[in-house]
Amino acid sequence: MIVSVIAFSACNNSSNKSAETQSAKTDSGTTAQTKSAVPANTEATVSIKEIVTAYLQLKNAFTKDDTNDAAAAGSSLEAAFKTFDKTGLTANQKKTFEDVEDDAGEHAEHIGKSGGNIAHQREHFEMLSKDMYDLVKAFGAGQVLYKDFCPMYNNNKGAFWISETKEIKNPYLGKAMPTCGTMKEELK
Amino acid sequence: MSRIKKIGLSILVVFSAIQFMQPVRNKSVGLSATDISKVLNIPDSVQAILGNACFDCHSNNTNYPWYVNIQPMGWLMTKHIRQGKAALNFSEFGSYSARRRQSKLKSIADQISDGDMPLSSYIWMHKKAKLTNDEKGLIINWVQRSKDILSIKKLKE
């Protein structure tokens, strides 16, 4: 089902045009379009896009060593978790989501409140990234994402993050080591 | 002069009055079912450090120093405890999800190695909470072991 959601949203842009022209042609065509769009819409409520967007914003603030932007993005991420509409979720999905939310929401809140202490914000970002990975794996992001790994962070213990670009931009070491890291997995 | 006396007197009155407003104590009888010791094995050496330096603000049982009987010191302590417990409560560790247990353990190690915990303002009043490097090492190693044990347990589930 997740695959179909991704497939649907991925094809959405390209198929929109033809759908419009099709529905413009006949009235019956329009009804058919609306009908087929209904299940797709209910599935679209499972979209974690806002959460993903806020996370990526946070990640990008860290690549620039910007603690205040990171704090702002942390707060938007916290809000995105809080406002997420769970009504469309199955019992299992809800359980998965809440398990992640319980932890990730706290990290996001903490990052939001820790402006000025980027080292501490990054400690929480590391845990948050694990949560986000599990969330994206479970629900799909609606866009291609990459799991990147930085082997040097945290005294060479290493840590990973999720990125929207193939190019490496390290959020843990920031401007000091912007290209440190490798792509480990493509998340479709 | 009489003005200074008046001010002095009113401060004394307010100070005496607030002594009657004693905050509720953070005390509970026995270990709770969700106590961390029911989930993780804690060696005595680690238990002693946690008891001296952490549990006062991060559990449901505070070992109160004498000066909390004097207000506003007791209120400040109450605030510390409320915030401490909200962030991490060892008495409720067992109620955290597997994911949160991992996060909390990692945060404990991070905070201690960064020197952010115990709070320097707290150490200033409670010398016993000051950790030596050896004690820090003990806690951090225990945290790492515990994290591994919990993740192995989870894999087996």
Looking at residue A16, its pLDDT comes to 42
- Residue A103 to residue B107, Cβ atoms within 8 A: no
Neighboring chain B residues of A105 at a CB cutoff of 8 Å: none
Whole-angstrom Cα distance, residue B5 to residue B14? Answer: 14
Determine how many CB atoms are found less than 10 A away from the CB of residue A46.
21
Residues A53 and A20 in one domain: no
Give A136's contacts (C-beta < 8 A, 6+ positions apart). A48, A52, A145, A162, A187
Report the first-to-last Cα separation within chain B, whole angstroms. Answer: 76
Looking at residue B152, its pLDDT comes to 84
Residues A10 and A81 in one domain: no
Residues A84 and A177 in one domain: yes
Chain A residue with CA closest to B88: the answer is A106
Determine how many CB atoms are found less than 10 A away from the CB of residue B86.
9
Q: pLDDT over 70 for what percent of chain B?
A: 99
Residues A67 and A37 in one domain: no
Neighboring chain B residues of A131 at a CB cutoff of 8 Å: 99
Residues A71 and A146 in one domain: yes
Q: Nearest by CB to A99, which of B99, B110, B116?
A: B99
Beta bridge partners of A182: A149
- Residue B97 to residue A106, Cβ atoms within 8 A: no
Residues A93 and A150 in one domain: yes
Q: Closest approach of chain A CAs to the CA of B67, in angstroms?
A: 31
Q: Prior bond to B118 cis, omega within 30? A: yes
Neighboring chain B residues of A119 at a CB cutoff of 8 Å: 114
How many domains does the structure of chain A reveal? 2
Residues A29 and A120 in one domain: no
Full residue range of the structural domain in which residue A180 is found: 49-187
Residues A31 and A111 in one domain: no
Residues A99 and A160 in one domain: yes
Q: What is the DSSP string of B76-123?
A: HHHHHHHHHHHH--GGGGGGS-HHHHHHHHHHHHHHHHHT-SS-HHHH
Looking at residue B17, its pLDDT comes to 85
Whole-angstrom Cα distance, residue A23 to residue B21? Answer: 73
Residues A24 and A71 in one domain: no
Do residues B112 and B53 touch, judged by C-beta distance below 8 A? Answer: no
Neighboring chain B residues of A116 at a CB cutoff of 8 Å: none
Digitized pLDDT (tens) for each residue of chain A, 188 residues in all: 444 444 444 434 444 444 444 444 444 444 444 444 434 434 445 688 889 999 999 999 999 999 999 999 999 999 999 998 888 888 888 889 999 999 999 999 999 999 999 999 999 999 999 999 999 988 888 889 999 999 999 888 899 999 999 899 999 999 898 999 898 998 88
Residues A30 and A121 in one domain: no
B5-51, pLDDT tens digit by residue? 999 999 999 888 888 888 888 887 778 889 898 888 899 999 999 99
Chain B residue with CA closest to A127: the answer is B103
* A182-187 and A159-163 strand pairing: unpaired
- Residue B106 to residue A123, Cβ atoms within 8 A: yes
For A186, counting Cβ atoms within 10 Å of its Cβ (0-12 exposed, 13-18 middle, 19+ buried), the class is exposed
For B31, counting Cβ atoms within 10 Å of its Cβ (0-12 exposed, 13-18 middle, 19+ buried), the class is middle
Do residues B21 and B53 touch, judged by C-beta distance below 8 A? Answer: no
Q: What is the pTM of this model?
A: 0.77
Looking at residue A58, its pLDDT comes to 94
Q: Which residues of A touch B (CB under 8 A)?
A: 99-100, 102-103, 106-107, 119-120, 123-124, 126-127, 131
Q: Nearest by CB to B100, which of A102, A120, A124?
A: A102
- Which regions of chain B are under pLDDT 50? none
Residues A91 and A54 in one domain: yes
- Residue B110 to residue A123, Cβ atoms within 8 A: yes
Do residues A64 and A173 touch, judged by C-beta distance below 8 A? Answer: no
Looking at residue B145, its pLDDT comes to 92
Q: What are phi and psi of A147, to 5 degrees?
A: -95, 115
